Structure 1
Amino acid sequence: MATTALKPPPGAAADWTIPQDWRSYTAQEHATWDKLFARQAEMLKGRVTPAFLEGLDVLRLSKPGIPDFEELSEVLMARTGWRVVAVPGLVPDEDFFRHLANRTFVAGRFIRRPDQLDYLEEPDVFHDVFGHVPLLANPVFADYMQAYGAGGLRSMSFDALHWLARLYWYTVEFGLVREGGDLKLYGAGIVSSFGESVFALDDPSPNRIGFDLKRVMRTRYRIDDYQQTYFVIDSFDDLLRQTLETDFGPLYAALGKEADLEPQDVIAGDKVFTRGTQAYALQHKKAS
């Protein structure tokens, strides 16, 4: 959730946070949340990592509809020490990383309109809270998110934000995990999307490739449609281990000497679970 703006907008604190103002939500906005929650929770059964479904309990609070961030933070703090705060939209990279490093997750407070249930370009409270918060209740993934934030702060002096953004994109937002021989969803961008929850696992179009840190950070991504490649981690423990054990300084130096890879590329050395047809991307390219 990054922006290049230098100063917080009016009404925001120096760290870009704003009051959620839970009481200002309308009945229709709460109903939109409830509809999205029920539909997506049902869709994800058998498709998402069990850790996500277990974490959904933190969103079932005393008040109906959109979660009150104060109550949500109390529940989450008791589990993993994280809290959720509202922001007016995208925040600067350094502030975003600092929040994560301090176990604070920033979330938009607005919710999409009823005619936007299936797609919204800018992250709303459903994407941010339904998509991200359940795994922040998982101790290992919660530690990964904090480690990512700390690593992001260190990356500021390496001109490496584009590489680190790819790691976030292909893990936190659009990651798959292999569990019990099956591929499962865990990325927030997938689990909060009705269509991509099906596409990411079932469609023959995208590549599904084993996670490799350097490989992921070389790979461009799609911001305007379903992904052309999904990367598959072995476990949250392994993802955290690789993040903590890697010296990112030399990795950034090595990345600077290699060409970027396109979203659809499959290269020698890839562990390929599925070599996609790319039919979906090709069709939509022609249509545009």
Structure 2
Amino acid sequence: MFEEGQLYSPVTQHDDGTVEVHLSDNHPGRNDPAYVARRSEIAGAAMAWTRGEPIPHIDYTDAEHEIWRTVSHELTPKHEKYAHSEYLAAKHALRLPTEHVPQLHEVSELLEPITGWTYVAAPGLVPLRDFYGDLGARTFNSTQYLRHGSQPLYTPEPDIIHEVIGHGNQLASPRFARITEAAGQASLRLETEEAMKFVADVFWFSMEFGIMREHGEVKAYGAGILSSYGEMDEYAHMEHRDLDLVDMGTLNYDITAYQPVLFCADSLDQLEGVVGEFFETVDDDLAARLRAEAVERGLVSAPDA
């Protein structure tokens, strides 16, 4: 089971204005009424927020701060061992707090002077085009809740630890930040949903679950790996393929399981030259041609097959 699978719990708002988060049956907090109520409270704050207003301030509890502290301390030696030097340099430049959960405005205040990125609040899943459109404006949508305290190193969905420790540190690298921004700007050129999905899948296998060779070792730079205590021990044992946009944009994957296939860049220059240039130039026609090539190569079935 991929413990940090990218599954957001659905959020609904009832006619009386109350907000409810629906946790899956296997969620550690599913049978904890206090946790469910807390999640609903935090989601409600994001849903009531209007852009242009101050980002909702969450009064985190001592227990929530302890979860952040525990994960921060446990991930640090893992990062030193497994993370690519570009990510480590960005992490050291950003200097996220390790003893308390940062407010999103605090993350923005640390990040914006470095790469111009800011954070905004989201109750959970953000529609794909909205999420990528914001990336194109150097804006990252982040949840504000934390995982259940019974298993601080486990989460079945992205929480603020994934969004900030994983992506925030990554976005403090000017080079990673430019690739992410280019992916967002690409979405503004795309009209078809097929092309949008192709871009999102390339993003998945790069900025979320990307790995890269460095000094004879394979290091991780993807936010999904580097925010996951368990994934960092597993990625080296998976199948590693060379960067291949056709394969990356069409490969089926299970977001609830460890990724059995990862794509490895030879260098940061290569990542920029292949993935970054793709995001900078892709349009509907290019995505369609790459999809057609996948059919020719037998990677996917023809649409009418």
TM superposition score category, shorter chain reference: 0.7 to 0.9
After superposition, what is the alpha-carbon deviation per residue over 1:149-194, rounded to whole angstroms, capped at 9, x for unaligned? 0112222346322212211111111110111221101111111111
Deviation at 1:64, TM superposition (A): 3.7
After superposition, what is the alpha-carbon deviation per residue over 1:233-256, rounded to whole angstroms, capped at 9, x for unaligned? 123333233345444234312234
- Given candidates 179, 185, 194, the residue that maps to 1:159 is 194
> Equivalent residue of 1:198, what SS?
helix
Deviation at 1:42, TM superposition (A): 1.4
Structure 2: state its 5+ residue gaps: 1-5, 14-42, 301-305
Normalised to the residue count of structure 1, the TM-score between the two structures is 0.79
Deviation at 1:104, TM superposition (A): 0.9
1:11 aligns with 2:48: yes
1:237 maps to a residue whose letter is D
The corresponding residue for 2:113 is 78
The corresponding residue for 2:246 is 214
After superposition, what is the alpha-carbon deviation per residue over 1:36-90, rounded to whole angstroms, capped at 9, x for unaligned? 01001112222111222222232434x9411122222122111111112221111
Q: 1:93 to 1:18 in 2, by over 3 A?
A: farther
Q: 1:13 to 1:235 in 2, by over 3 A?
A: farther
- Whether the 8 Å CA contact 1:158–1:252 is kept in 2: the answer is no
Matches within 5 A, 1:79-98: 79-98=114-133
1:248 aligns with 2:298: no
- Given candidates 133, 136, 139, the residue that maps to 2:171 is 136
Q: 1:142 to 1:20 in 2, by over 3 A?
A: same
2:254 maps to a residue whose letter is R
After superposition, what is the alpha-carbon deviation per residue over 1:174-231, rounded to whole angstroms, capped at 9, x for unaligned? 1101112211011111111111101001x3xx21111122221121112111011010
The corresponding residue for 1:60 is 96
Matched length: 255
Matches within 5 A, 1:267-282: none
> Equivalent residue of 2:158, what SS?
coil
Deviation at 1:99, TM superposition (A): 1.0
Matches within 5 A, 1:179-194: 179-194=214-229
- Given candidates 143, 146, 151, the residue that maps to 1:108 is 143
The corresponding residue for 2:70 is 35
Q: 1:118 to 1:244 in 2, by over 3 A?
A: closer
How far apart are the structure 2 equivalents of 1:161 and 1:115? 37
1:176 maps to a residue whose letter is I
The corresponding residue for 1:118 is 153
How far apart are the structure 1 equivalents of 2:205 and 2:277? 19
Consecutive aligned runs of 4 or more in structure 1 exceeding 4 Å deviation: 1-5, 7-10
- Given candidates 238, 249, 253, the residue that maps to 2:270 is 238
- Whether the 8 Å CA contact 2:55–2:104 is kept in 1: the answer is no
2:253 maps to a residue whose letter is Y
Deviation at 1:94, TM superposition (A): 1.9
Q: 1:123 to 1:244 in 2, by over 3 A?
A: closer
Q: 1:86 to 1:236 in 2, by over 3 A?
A: farther
Of structures 1 and 2, the one with the larger relative CO (CA 8 A, separation 6+) is 2
Normalised to the residue count of structure 2, the TM-score between the two structures is 0.75
How far apart are the structure 1 equivalents of 2:66 and 2:96? 15
How far apart are the structure 2 equivalents of 1:26 and 1:41? 23
Structure 1: state its 5+ residue gaps: 263-288
> Equivalent residue of 1:67, what SS?
coil
